[in-house]
A and B are shown apart, each in its own frame.
Chain A
Amino acid sequence: MRVNDAVTGAILVVLGSAVTLQSRGFPDVPGQQYGAAVFPTVIALALVGCGAVLIAQGLRRRPAPAEAPPPGEERADWTRSGRAWFNLLACLALVVGYVLLAPVIGFLAAMTILTALVCLLLGVRWWIALAVGLAAAIVIHQGFTVLLRVPLPRGVIIPF
């Protein structure tokens, strides 16, 4: 999602200002000149400065320059493709869904579903997607719980 530098700059200015305001509430350390607010404030002001420069640059060359893409890197404008937006948002939603679901249905089931569905989004045939999902979940589960002893989430419904 390529936006004009001016937009990026504006976002940075807003972010920097918000951080500066928030930092003013940090308590001073008694007897010290440089309290908790100094460091974030300096960074925030620097961000505002960078934002201002980007706004200026963005406004100067308004139509974003069409740069030659580096060899082998597709840099097509995808923002007009419904499919691309769907894939992106679906992928994000799937990860969020995994975080919410894993404690309920357990790691194995949640990971199988996630991997298989992401495969489907990328156009893999359903039975291959399912096989990949299952295999990935089982291998990761074995690797992390048995070899590395990470307590992966166990489900309430399915205790794996």
Chain B
Amino acid sequence: MQAIEAAFGLVFQWNVLLVIGGAAMFGLFVGAIPGLTATMAIALLVPVTFFMDPVPAVGAMISCSAMAIFAGDIPGTLLRIPGTPASAAYTSEAYAMTKKGEGEIALGANLLFSALGGLFGTLVLIVAAPSLAELALKFSSFEYFWLALLGLTCAVFIGADSAVKGLVSLFLGLLISTIGLNNPAGVPRFTFDNVDLTGGIDFIPAMIGLFAVSEVLRCMVHGAKDLPLPQTSVGNLFAGWGRMFVTYWRQQIRGNVMGTAIGALPGAGADIAAWVSYATSRKFSKTPEKFGTGHVEGIIESTSANNAALAGAWVPALVFGIPGDSITAVVIGVLYVKGLNPGPTIFLNSPEIIYAVFLIFILANIAMIPLGWAAIKGAKQILRAPRNILMPLILAFCIVGAFATNNSAFGVVIMLVFGVIGFLMEENDIPIAPCILGIVLGPLLEENFVTSMIKADGDFLAFFERPIAATAGVATLLIWFLPPLLRLRRRRATNGPAAIG
């Protein structure tokens, strides 16, 4: 109880609330502009939060990401251009509703069910995280090794179009994480006698490069075309809320549960949750033929899912220090910088911070309704922001942010190099998110592997001797080997009769 009181004291200060509100508006703006993703909003926000206390810093990231994921629906509905990848799953559907003149119903559904989804995810976070943390206290290096590996595995195998390209991205990230002195053996690796490199690649400038600078470079190449302006004017957003809530409560709950679960899987986040939920909704719908023609059912389920996933992703991040998606990867980095090492001990040592996180999640999702309403009403103005001025400003902000993480120009160099890498990767359909998870989880993976091996005296079977480790290990191996085996069987099954006939 004391901790909860302390949490209220930490959150309800005018400067904290101001920061959270500011971050919310920033998130709405960035999320609503196509091409600028929620992760990019976070990447740009991090350097600013570096110099704040932990609670406002984390609060800013929570409200910014929640708003950005919702705001991605706005251009998706009005222009058929998703503002963030998490909205892509139902963009065509929502645009079809706009064309039928039901734009406000689609946007209203996005707003209501985004907020409710966020609240549901938060509820799960509140219930699940502390009990999981108790379990996690018993974890040793074996369990952490498998969890890290499971996270990386999910990042590659769920969601990526091509597993090989996901793997390439992941291994590049892992390779980058080996640079420097910071490894169990304390040996300088790949430093090329460069003093700056001995410290390793700082992941915040790297991420600013991968997610933000790459987008600026893409704009430099393709030109900064202005967006078409939405022609429709949005009517009463609250129309039909009651009816939708009553008619589609099953879809809503299914979306919430699915979203939270996918978000909580280490490595898979809101984008994937939306795709999976949209597909599920169609599969179980009584009227699947209406999907794609401007039917609100699938939108409700997937918009419930992507916001729920956001909170779900915080479960493994807080409890194990293993990010659920690329946004929580950043959050973990920031928590470390603040001296709050994520993991089960944070629940014992600073419970007031954890309660503050819960509180901010609730606040952000409630504030989403009025702020989101304003953003939808102001959508024309937001979408009119000239991109040829926006992009140089983003670049300027990237440079200062990369500089500020260590107060050294080397950060800017890292940022630029990773900007080019990210640009080339995206051009060739290599996803970026696994790379970031690789950079964050690489050291964790290596450290826990080496520690475990020292404990087990080089016996690999030790990784399967403890029950939880064994379960996680088997699950990881199944994800690796099951799909190719199934494919092989299916191929044999289809080839077999053909060969005989």
Contact = CB atoms under 8 A, between A and B. Distances in A.
Interface of A: 1-3, 5, 8, 12, 19, 22-23, 26-27, 29, 32-36, 39-40, 43-44, 46-47, 50-51, 53-54, 57, 70-72, 74, 76, 78, 84, 87-88, 90-92, 95-96, 98-99, 102-103, 111, 114-116, 118-119, 121-124, 128, 132-133, 136-137, 140, 144, 148-153
B164 A57 contact: yes
Contacts, number: 178
Contacts of B453: 32-34
B388 interface: yes
Contacts of A150: 51, 400, 403-404, 407
B217 A128 contact: no
6 contacts: A32-B185, A32-B453, A50-B171, A72-B79, A132-B389, A140-B397
Looking at chain B's contact residues, the main secondary structure is helix
Contacts of A151: 407
A137 B395 CA distance: 12
Nearest to B192: A22
B198 interface: no
A33 B458 contact: yes
A114 B92 CA distance: 39
B91 interface: yes
Interface stretch (B219-227, B270-278, B377-385): B219-227
Q: Which of A27, A35, A71 has the most CB of B within 10 A?
A: A71
Interface in B172-222: 172, 174-175, 178, 183-185, 187, 189-190, 216-217, 219-222
Given A47-B168, A47-B175, A151-B407, A92 B396 contact: no
B392 A35 contact: no
B393 interface: yes
Given A57-B164, A95-B416, A136-B396, A43 B171 contact: yes
Interface stretch (B134-142, B420-428, B492-500): B420-428
Contacts of A111: 396, 399-400
A36 B187 contact: yes
Contact of B220 (A76, A122, A137, A140): A122
Q: Which 9 A-B pairs have the closest CB atoms?
A: A72-B81, A122-B388, A118-B392, A36-B185, A36-B187, A148-B51, A87-B220, A84-B221, A150-B404
A102 B220 CA distance: 23
A121 B223 CA distance: 9
Contacts of A95: 395, 399, 412, 416
B479 interface: no
A31 to B, nearest CB: 9
Contacts of A51: 168
Nearest to A131: B389
Interface of B: 34, 48, 50-51, 79-82, 88, 91-92, 164-165, 167-168, 171-172, 174-175, 178, 183-185, 187, 189-190, 216-217, 219-225, 386-389, 391-393, 395-397, 399-400, 403-404, 407, 409, 412-413, 416, 420, 424, 427-428, 430, 445-446, 449-450, 453-454, 458
B241 to A, nearest CB: 28
Contact of A122 (B223, B403, B450): B223
Given A118-B391, A128-B389, 12 more contacts: A22-B190, A32-B454, A34-B449, A35-B187, A50-B168, A74-B222, A91-B220, A95-B412, A96-B416, A115-B396, A148-B51, A151-B407
Contacts of A43: 171, 174-175, 178
Contact of B187 (A26, A78, A102): A26
Contact of B224 (A46, A123, A137, A140): A123
B189 A26 contact: yes
Nearest to B81: A72
Nearest to A72: B81
A19 B222 CA distance: 34
A26 to B, nearest CB: 5
Given A19-B175, A91-B216, A148 B168 contact: no
Contacts of A29: 185
Given A40-B189, A50-B171, A144-B400, A121 B220 contact: yes
Nearest to A137: B396
Given A122-B224, A128-B389, A47 B171 contact: yes
A114 B164 contact: no
B190 to A, nearest CB: 7
A119 B219 CA distance: 12
A64 B48 CA distance: 42
Nearest to A136: B396
B222 A84 contact: yes
